[in-house]
Amino acid sequence: MMQLAVFPNMSKRRAGEIVDRIFNFYHNKDVRLVMPATEARQFRKEEYGLPCVERVHVDMALSIGGDGTLLGVCRRFGEQNVPVCGINLGTLGFLADIEPRELEGRLAKILAGQYRVERRLLLSGYIRNDLGEKFLGNAINDVVITKGGVARMLRLGLYVNQTHLMDYKADGIIVSSPTGSTAYSLSAGGPILNPTIRALLLTPICAHTFQMRPLVVSEDDEVLIKVDAMQDVIVTLDGQVSHKIQPNDEVIVRKAKTTAQIVKFDDKNYYDVLKAKMWT
């Protein structure tokens, strides 16, 4: 029996409709559905609710919302190698591969095993100081270093593999995976990378110099950012989890030991999706 975990974004207007369609489609099929207890109560599926879905075996997680919802679900299952399939109720939806009009057809393909799983590079963020290294968490899209409350530029030092590349002033820097190249990095002027490219993308945010341009480095490189000790600095993972940096902290970004597993279907390729989302 296949077991699927359903993760609806409760703030999305059509989430309840999609949940009902999923449960109706898989009714009397060899599929067991589970949900987080809070969401199960919200959508009147109490008998399917579990207090900690991550602790039970599931074959796949269904994310109902936008790309942000899918990012959160991927982080929840990051250590368990659970593939995540996104049902798009957001705006762009680069990661969420199923549109509402396609739902039942895609659910049938999932049941028949007619899908593939793409392993996407994950970023691991750390803070290093005199006490050692502290793990902040993993990110699928990006690790972003930005200024805190006062609207002043940061003074940043950029190092790759312990080589000091340059010091510069900017509003911050984005360390992005190829998957995240169509997220915040794109808005800051970074290039679009095919998500299968094994690389990290360093994109400055409003750099006060023409010398600092977006830079693509190897996925195996270690990126270190030093920030002026007197400035208020925030590190954010995927735009969802934030950490305040203390004086003399250094931010390190490396390739994670695990990968994100995203469900895709063979009748859609990356460039078709890119064209539809960006230029149609």
| Complete domains list, the chain, with CATH | 2-115+265-278 (3.40.50.10330), 123-257 (2.60.200.30)
CB 227 within 8 A of CB 128: no
DSSP state of 78: T
Identify the burial level of 101 via C-beta atoms within 10 angstroms of its C-beta, where 0-12 means exposed, 13-18 middle and 19 or more buried.
Answer: exposed
- The pTM score is 0.92
Is 232 considered catalytic here?
Answer: no
Q: Which residues of 10-33 are buried (b: 16+ CB within 10 A; e: fewer)?
A: eebeebeebbebbbebbeeeebeb
Among 117, 135, 116, which Cα is nearest to 125's? 135
Dihedral pair phi/psi, residue 145, rounded to 5° = -105, 120
Biggest CA pair distance of the chain? 62
- Residue type at 176 in one-letter notation: S
pLDDT in single tens digits along all 280 residues of the chain:
999 999 999 999 999 999 999 999 999 999 999 999 999 999 999 999 999 998 899 999 999 999 999 999 998 887 788 999 999 998 878 898 899 999 999 999 999 999 999 999 999 999 999 999 999 999 999 999 998 776 678 999 999 999 999 999 999 999 999 999 999 999 999 999 999 999 999 999 999 887 889 999 999 999 999 988 677 899 999 999 999 988 889 999 999 999 999 999 988 889 988 998 888 8
Structure tokens at 241: 């989890």
Q: Which residues contact 20 (CB under 8 A, 6 or more apart)?
A: 43
Separation of alpha carbons 86 and 173, rounded Å: 28
pLDDT at position 221: 99
Number of other CB atoms surrounding residue 79 within 10 Å? 12
H/E stretch holding 190 reads none
Catalytic residue among 20, 67, 130, 142: 67
Q: What angle do CA 106, 109, 112 make, to 5 degrees?
A: 155
- Whole-angstrom CA distances from 261 to 28, 73, 76 are 28, 11, 12
Crossing angle of the two packed helices 103-112 and 15-26, in degrees rounded to 10: 40
Name the one residue in this structure whose structure tokens are 């931010």: 251
pLDDT at position 151: 65
Separation of alpha carbons 32 and 50, rounded Å: 13
Separation of alpha carbons 94 and 67, rounded Å: 7
